[in-house]
Amino acid sequence: MKQIHIGVFLGSFRKESYSRKIANAISQFFPNDIYKITILPLDTLPLYNQDFEEFDQTPEAWISYREIVKELDAFLIVTPEYNRSVTPVLKNAIDIASRPPKNNLWSGMPGAIISISPGSLGGFGGHQQVLQALTCLDAYVMPTPETYFGGIAKKFTDDGVLKDDKTLRFLENVANSMRDWLERFLL
């Protein structure tokens, strides 16, 4: 059986970002013999500008990124919210993979969104904007459980280990739901 390749899109590319820590924590619930997890290099992507492509100046970083996205079977987005909105790095990555419209790489791809915040709302606003963008791009976003983690900074030890058992159990539930969701489309 072919491995299911899940691309992880992090809304923050800081080395110690909570998005990365949550992505690492949930990854343990995807068995390596069935799933391949790849964190995409969003930090290398120049801002989207359609002129680059219209004048045959498509940045190499966009080309490489699109080649990676083409190989994916599914996606997992883990993102903070900035000012009740989607982060610029994530929106840029979504746009680059959706352009030009005839080459929309999100179309038909199943996946899930996890949002996080140090505040109590858990990134709800950013989550909803990512969902809106992906829905209009014909991606199949897992509807439940909607996954928002508030108070994220309190859930980890100083060395980055997830210490909150309730969060870990919920991540396991999200992973189980995501595996079921992906099987609808990929098996």
pLDDT value of position 173:
98
Q: pLDDT per residue over 52-100, tens digit each?
A: 988 889 999 999 999 999 999 999 999 999 998 999 999 999 999 999 9
Over residues 110-147, the pLDDT tens digits come to: 999 999 999 888 899 999 999 999 999 999 999 999 99
pLDDT at 39: 96
pLDDT of residue 7: 98
d(CA 78, CA 112): 9
pLDDT of residue 1: 67
Q: Residue 54: its pLDDT value, please?
A: 87
* CA–CA gap between residue 184 and residue 186 (Å, rounded): 6
Is residue 101's pLDDT more than 70? yes
Residue ranges of the domains in the chain? 4-186
**Euclidean distance between CA atoms 52 and 85, whole angstroms:** 26
| Model pLDDT, residue 122 | 87
- Please state which CATH number belongs to domain 4-186: 3.40.50.360
pLDDT digits (tens, 9 = 90+) for 1-56: 689 999 999 999 888 899 999 999 999 999 999 999 999 999 999 999 999 988 88
Burial (0-12, 13-18, 19+ Cβ within 10 Å), 31: exposed
